[in-house]
Amino acid sequence: MESTIDDPDMVLNNYLTSIADTEGDMVQGTELPSSPPIPTPPPPEFEHFMKLPVEIRGYIYEFALFTGQIIRPQLCDHSGMTLNNANEIKFHDQVQHSRLHPNHAAISNLLGITRVSKQIRAESLPCFYAANTFAIGADTATYFMRLKQLSRFHMVRHVRLTIELRREKWTAEILQHLTHHLRDVEAYESWYQGEQDTRIYLCNHPHYIAGGVPELALFSCLRMLTSTFTTPTTESNSNSKSNTAYTHNLVLPIPSTRTFTAYASLRWFLTVSAALGIHVHFLEGHALVYNDQGRIGVVWRQAFQKKNFDVSAKEGGGKGNGKGNGGVDVWDRALAANPAVGDMQRDRYERTAYMRVSCDGLGYEWFDVWHLEQ
């Protein structure tokens, strides 16, 4: 959340210091002259802190757990960690991490406060997700899957998405990639028999494998952030045929709907959304995060979305995939949204390759994402 605390007064700061100190106690261990033995101080108590009204505690948590910048989750493959526990699932923040300045633990250090006690954890963990904004990058869909496993996904409040300006002629190709990807997801999730709560499950999931393809990453995340219509609705006016049935609702805060209607290079986004059954509802009067380098940045906010955005716990679900949704085909919806898509279809089925760099910056791995159709 942008507004954490406008004017953090001394009282709040003192409380923060006391919480932070308990995390550092074990490490800092001030070296005093050793004789006579100093009695072990009693463990810190938070009775005064816990006497504060819960709203004030919430402000303090958000203040303490706000990173001050965007968080771009990256699945951590730090060798020290994977050697110790090959199946440990940990994400670090790509923004606070680089090869020259490695910081695999920026987030877990920040979350130290949440480990003070059971009650503080229960109170403060949602504040971490509420206070921060997550960027959609190669591993964000994987991160969201992990949050779903941990029953925390509903706590995410702000997600920054980047929509690239694309020439309309690419719409059909993007749709082909997406259709194939969503079928992969559905097939993988119904095929996989082992424990899903594992690194192996996540790293073999199509969302992870295709994470480096921007459009697939974007729509994989958006499908998780949309609200599900309980009953499919149809566009009431122009297209009376049922091939425009929407199953999901996406609310995007933008300056003006003209942003999307005026720029031909943003139309692909609406056509693809419609084809996936996502009705994009614009909320006007909200600034873009950026509008440069052939892309725009929009912050999705849970507050603007219908509260049931997390209803579809399962990703594949048959919604938006091929003919999985009551006979409504992705291509039928795409054609209804933009008849020109029919002329854009190509017979060129290819793969996209991209490279992931290991989080120590030394290793790399190529990923092939296939878009073979039918």
Q: Give residues in contact with Zn ion (CB under 5 A).
A: 76, 78, 92, 104, 359
Q: Which of 128, 132, 113, 126 is nearest to 71 (CA)?
A: 132
Cβ closest to Zn ion, residue 104 vs residue 160: 104
Beta strands in the chain, from DSSP E residues, in sequence order: 73-75, 91-93, 133-135, 158-164, 227-233, 246-253, 278-283, 290-292, 295-301, 351-357, 364-370
Cβ closest to Zn ion, residue 104 vs residue 267: 104
Min dist CB 355 to Zn ion, Å, is: 17
Min dist CB 359 to Zn ion, Å, is: 3
Cβ closest to Zn ion, residue 332 vs residue 360: 360
Residue 367 DSSP SS3: strand
Min dist CB 360 to Zn ion, Å, is: 7
How far apart are the C-alpha atoms of 366 and 139, rounded to whole Å?
A: 15
Q: Which of 164, 155, 166 is nearest to 123 (CA)?
A: 155
Give the sign of the dihedral formed by CA 24, CA 358, CA 77, CA 226: positive
Residue 164 DSSP SS3: strand
Q: Which of 174, 125, 163 is nearest to 300 (CA)?
A: 163
Cβ closest to Zn ion, residue 79 vs residue 240: 79
Cβ closest to Zn ion, residue 44 vs residue 361: 361
Helices (H), 165-300: 171-191, 199-204, 206-209, 214-225, 258-262, 267-275
Min dist CB 115 to Zn ion, Å, is: 20
Min dist CB 101 to Zn ion, Å, is: 12
Cβ closest to Zn ion, residue 92 vs residue 157: 92
Min dist CB 99 to Zn ion, Å, is: 11
